[in-house]
Amino acid sequence: MTGSSDNPARPAAGVRLCELAEIPDPGAKGFRFRAERWLFAGFVVRAGDLLAGYVDSCPHAAWPLAALDDRYLTRDARHILCTGHGALFRLDGVCVAGPCEGRRLFDWPVTVRDGAVWTA
Ligand code: FES
C-alpha cells in the first residue's frame, strides 16, 4: 500500500511540503515521496480556513484518487473525487457517495508554519 503508516517512504513530521500560496484556494496539491521500492502519495486540500492532508489511497480499492496531477476536487470544489469508481468525499474526508460511502480517507496530518505547509 502507498499510504500505510509503516510505509518507509512516508515522510516524518516536520517536512516542508510547499508554500501555502502554491495550493489554490479552493484547491488541492499532491505530493509523492519515494524510498527505494516504496512510494508514499498524499495530497493537501485547501478551502478557506480548511487545510487537510490525506493519504492518496481510496478506502474502496486503495487506488490513487486523481487521474491527473493535483485534480482531486470536483469542478465546484465541494468534494474530493476518486476517479476510480466515482466516490465523492466531503472535504473533511468522509465518503458521501459511491462504493465506500460512510468510510473516510486516511488522514495525513499537515500544518501551516511561516507561510508554508509542513507534515505534522
Ligand atoms: S477506488 Fe475509489 S471509488 Fe473505487
Reduced to 3 states (helix: H, G, I; strand: E, B; else coil), residue 66 is: coil
Tell me the three cell numbers of residue 33.
515521496
Domains of the chain, by residue range, sit at 16-119
The predicted structure's pLDDT at residue 3:
57
The predicted structure's pLDDT at residue 56:
98
Confidence class for position 87, pLDDT limits 50, 70, 90: very high
**Beta carbon of 46 within 6 Å of any ligand 1 atom:** no
**Beta carbon of 67 within 6 Å of any ligand 1 atom:** no
Tell me the three cell numbers of residue 94.
468522509
Residue 73: CB atoms within 10 Å: 22
Confidence class for position 2, pLDDT limits 50, 70, 90: low
Average pLDDT of the chain to the nearest whole number: 96
Q: Which CATH code of 3.40.640.10, 3.20.20.70, 2.40.170.20, 2.102.10.10 fits the domain covering 16-119?
A: 2.102.10.10
Beta strands of the chain (E only): which ranges?
Answer: 16-19, 27-35, 38-47, 50-55, 79-81, 88-90, 95-97, 110-113, 116-119
**Beta carbon of 81 within 6 Å of any ligand 1 atom:** no
